[in-house]
Amino acid sequence: MAEVPQAALNWIVGGDTGMPALGIWAHMVGAAMTFHEHPQDATELAQCLRLLDQVPEWRGRMPEMARYSRGWRSIIPALDALTATLRSESDPEWGCRVSAPQTAAMLRSILVGVAA
């Protein structure tokens, strides 16, 4: 298992975890996980992005997630645009539940034709 940054250890016990974010965490630390769901909505995307805010050195490794699904392969190239849109629609703390209709629409558009 790779050396795990302290910020990542803090995140995993912090309660702001959804399955897509857990998949990122597991991949980045080399933990065994049998599935790596991509975010399906703005809330799950926000959880992933908050993880990347806490462990910014992982953001550059996000293309590695493309190996897990067509969804991740579709999301990765648009991650910067999704991040900017979500930040423009949500509070500075990225609340655990976000109402982000533009981000949600963008994500749905990116995932058209991608099986869940």
DSSP for 60-88, please give it: GGGGGGGGS-HHHHHHGGGHHHHHHHHHH
pLDDT score at 17: 84
Q: How far is CA 76 from the centre of its chain?
A: 10
At 6-53, the pLDDT tens digits run: 999 888 888 788 899 999 999 999 888 777 889 999 889 999 999 999
Give me the residue spans of the domains in the chain: 6-110
Q: Catalogue the E-assigned strands of 10-79.
A: none
Query: CB of 97 within 8 A of CB of 86?
Result: no
pLDDT confidence tier of residue 113, bands split at 50, 70 and 90:
confident
Asked if the model's pLDDT at residue 97 lies above 90, the reply is no
Q: Is the pTM of this model over 0.95?
A: no
Asked if the model's pLDDT at residue 94 lies above 90, the reply is no
pLDDT score at 33: 78
